[in-house]
A and B are shown apart, each in its own frame.
Chain A
Amino acid sequence: MLLDAIGSGLLQLATPQAMLFMCIGVVYGLIVGILPGLGGIVAMALLLPFTYGFETAATLALLLGAHIATIWGSSVTSILFRVPGAAKSLALCFDGYPMTQQGRAKQALGASGFAAMLGGVIGAIFLAISIPVVRPIMLALGPSEYLMMALWGLTVIATFSEGTLIKGMIAACVGVLLAFVGMDPVTATPRFTFGTIYLLDGISFPVAMIGLFAVAEMMKLYVKGGKIVEGDVSDETSTVMEGIRDVIRNRWLVLRSSLLGLWIGVLPGIGASVGGIAAYAQAVQTSGPDEQFGNGNVKGVIAPDATLGANEGGGLMPTLAFGIPGGESMAILLVAFINLGIAPGPQMLTDQLDVVFSLIWIVVIANVLTTGLGLLAAPWLAGLPALNPKIMIPLVLSVCFLGAYATRGMIEDVVTAAGFGVLGYVMDRYNYSRANLVIGMVLATMIERNLQISLTLYGDWFIFTRPITTAMFAFVVLTICLPFWRSWRKRRAAEARA
């Protein structure tokens, strides 16, 4: 039955309309993904009105193909401009951007695209294999476990804030508090809105990112002078093929990261934002003692991209099996399902397995298409950071402010982006981690929501009354202690050498 469904799923896609729609979706997604502030959910939401009246496979190919392509598009801006196109691509700024600064942008883009493709394919394959196994595990997790997942995401900050630990944690606290601006979803209390209607909806996350990274980077570029790429671009010796070879050399890292992305995608509501950071952290933790991260280590690009690629396949599982979106883009897909007359639920994994495998095949093919097109464009894209800053600054600023406005169609968001731009410049200048602020913003609502539900359902001592939660809490504590332990080891090693 499984093999029949796999074959049937592929056959449904083997129509000219389905393949054409997928190609259109991929090209559209790449363009939208590169635009700051826009990402998968915007791309899919805008396509939704155009999907009525077409065959099911073609519609799904268009939507999911566009979404897959935006993931790599947002990786491109993270690597080339240090502007995460979406929250999930934040981790690519840590090592991808330094690679661009070192004149290795082609290598970074090659590694990024190929890792994302492999991650997507591996994720899809393992998803297909693990369908019978995943369901009982998903049913065993509750809000207290999701709370621990979110807390672990925050404590990962401690892992790569080593050396500026206090400032990093301060930035994370600011980020968490910024996320609470707006209407509290639990108590319907307006918090920190100062009586304004605009702030009732809270601070838009893409707008904050545009300001923190794009606007701040353009200000920094102006003050610093010179170009983003420190070396002469004509001396660029890296190639796309180097990046591809790096991925093949680090195949076990790709596999680990892909499985991590798959499982994070399977857990509903977590989203890829945690996955990218978690993948980066596991690359750091599993690296050799002499390896440095944050200075252009290609592993810091490979791990997050493989995770992001696999995450989409994983996100299909809760969406199809329970009607619970695995992420915001899956929510759009859910709407499309209903419009197409497909009812998500347990029967998807039994009676409509062919639809499930159609989607899995779309993930695989769209990843290959996206990587193919992206790698063809990579040598040209790699030249963008070397543009004269006199051209780059006004153009990038204009696109970013327009992107901020386009996020919600509110002109006040442009003011917010400008404010965050100033904040981002100040944070960068005085070594307060912007990445930690963003992580705090992403995880804050998840922490609060799951904490409230856990206290209501399980009582005040839920951390110790639920075994899985207790184990995860112990892991969180271990992660906090990791930087201290690593420093103690380094001190011991230095004393031994002396």
Chain B
Amino acid sequence: MRRLVQENILALLLLALFVAILVMSFGYGPRARMVPVPISVLGILLTLAQLYWQNTRPEDDLHVDLLQVLTKEDKSRPASPAPDVPEPDRAEGGSIWVALGFVGALLALMLLVGPFIGLFLFITGYLTASRYGNLLLALGLAASMSVALYLIFVIGLQLQVYHGVLDPVVRSLGL
């Protein structure tokens, strides 16, 4: 998918968000909506301006902003340098869907079995799947990390531990 299409989709989502907030704000009292309404309206105007801008300029100028046009800067000058994001090294980099997957996996594990067991399982699984050493090394690192975090957060900082959605099931099995 071309970059311009992606930018347009994102801008349209933002526009929908601001419109939704504006509509919801009218359901509140005058004082409660005093600031949300003008901010939403400002957001809508800015997003429309961004949509107009990014669709009327060549795609390679996406990082040049309305500011330059308003002040009539020479268009032949190089655009403001884009943030220095290196091109992903295809040999080393991964897929965004996998990245979303492991964030989701850690989240799911913490919700199901609690934070500490969840992170132990996640670290073990991640290190094993990424082939960082063998399973024994992964288990050792995961266990060390879990114990260290338990000592800091639970013993040191008196954190109340959440046992996970599956805790009643585990207890009913007598484990």
Looking at the complex, which one of B24, B42, B83 makes contact with A431 (CB distance below 8 Å)?
B83
Residues from chain B with Cβ under 8 Å of A388 in the complex: 132
- What is the chain A residue whose CB lies nearest that of B15? A170
In the complex, are the beta carbons of A173 and B46 less than 8 A apart? yes
Looking at the complex, which one of B7, B65, B70, B103 makes contact with A163 (CB distance below 8 Å)?
B65
In the complex, are the beta carbons of B93 and A224 less than 8 A apart? yes
In the complex, are the beta carbons of B70 and A484 less than 8 A apart? yes
Check A189/B29 contact, CB under 8 A, given A226-B89, A402-B149, A491-B72. Answer: yes
Taken together as a complex, chains A and B put the C-alpha atoms of A237 and B31 apart, in Å, by: 57
Expressed in whole angstroms, the minimum distance between the Cβ of B16 and any Cβ of chain A is 12
| Interchain Cβ contacts within 8 Å, total number | 204
Check A225/B91 contact, CB under 8 A, given A390-B130, A431-B82, A448-B34. Answer: yes
B172 at the interface (CB under 8 A from A): no
A174 at the interface (CB under 8 A from B): yes
B56 at the interface (CB under 8 A from A): no
Check A402/B31 contact, CB under 8 A, given A225-B91, A391-B141. Answer: no
Taken together as a complex, chains A and B put the C-alpha atoms of A418 and B101 apart, in Å, by: 11
- What is the chain A residue whose CB lies nearest that of B146? A398
Check A491/B10 contact, CB under 8 A, given A219-B100, A414-B107, A422-B103. Answer: no
Interface residues of A: mostly helix, strand, loop or mixed?
helix
Looking at the complex, which one of A173, A223, A494 makes contact with B88 (CB distance below 8 Å)?
A223
Taken together as a complex, chains A and B put the C-alpha atoms of A402 and B148 apart, in Å, by: 12
In the complex, are the beta carbons of A452 and B67 less than 8 A apart? no
Q: Mark B150-175, 1 if CB is under 8 A from A, else 0.
A: 00110001111010000000000000
Check A187/B24 contact, CB under 8 A, given A165-B67, A173-B43, A402-B119. Answer: no
Check A215/B103 contact, CB under 8 A, given A173-B18, A488-B71. Answer: yes
In the complex, are the beta carbons of A431 and B34 less than 8 A apart? no
Residues from chain B with Cβ under 8 Å of A32 in the complex: 157
A377 at the interface (CB under 8 A from B): no
Expressed in whole angstroms, the minimum distance between the Cβ of A394 and any Cβ of chain B is 4
In the complex, are the beta carbons of B49 and A225 less than 8 A apart? no
Interface residues of B: mostly helix, strand, loop or mixed?
helix
Number of chain A residues whose Cβ lies closer than 8 Å to a Cβ of chain B? 71
A280 at the interface (CB under 8 A from B): no
Of A7-15, A176-184, A318-326, the one contacting chain B is A176-184
Residues from chain A with Cβ under 8 Å of B49 in the complex: 166
In the complex, are the beta carbons of A395 and B65 less than 8 A apart? no
Residues from chain A with Cβ under 8 Å of B103 in the complex: 215, 219, 397, 418, 421-422
Residues from chain B with Cβ under 8 Å of A484 in the complex: 67, 70-71
Per CB-CB distance, the 7 closest pairs between chain A and chain B, nearest first, are A225-B92, A225-B93, A163-B80, A173-B43, A398-B119, A189-B32, A394-B126
A-B contact pairs, 21 of them (CB 8 A): A46-B157, A46-B158, A162-B80, A170-B14, A174-B43, A177-B43, A191-B25, A219-B100, A222-B93, A223-B99, A226-B89, A226-B93, A390-B127, A390-B132, A394-B126, A398-B106, A406-B153, A421-B103, A430-B10, A484-B67, A488-B71
Which residues of A does B touch, CB under 8 Å?
31-32, 35, 38, 42, 46, 98, 162-167, 169-170, 173-174, 176-177, 180, 184, 186-187, 189, 191-192, 215, 219, 222-226, 230, 295, 388, 390-391, 393-395, 397-399, 401-402, 405-406, 409, 411, 414-415, 418, 421-422, 425-426, 430-431, 444, 447-448, 451-452, 483-484, 487-488, 490-491, 494
